Amino acid sequence: MFRILVLLVVIAVIVVVILGVTRRVRAAVAGGVKHEPVADSPREILKRRYAAGEIDEDEYLRRMSGLSQDW
């Protein structure tokens, strides 16, 4: 009976170790892959364009004002 209990404990420890290693490997692989957002909001696109210098401050403020209005 004692041998069966020891065997079950050893098997449980092995399973826990394998699961831990698997999680770390998956996390490392997933951490290296950069996922692009599916769709940016119009405000985020506008902020990015302003930061990149594609539009000036007046254009940025005008368009932000337009996005703030309820139609």
With cut-offs at 50, 70 and 90, classify the pLDDT of residue 28: confident
**pLDDT score of 51 more than 70:** yes
* DSSP character string of the chain: -HHHHHHHHHHHHHHHHHHHHHHHHHHHHHHHSPPPPS---HHHHHHHHHHHTSS-HHHHHHHHHHHHS--
User: What does the alpha-carbon distance between residue 64 and residue 46 come to, in Å, rounded to a whole number?
Assistant: 8
Residue 55 has pLDDT above 90, yes or no: yes
pTM over 0.95, yes/no: no
Neighbouring CB atoms inside 10 A of 63's CB total 17
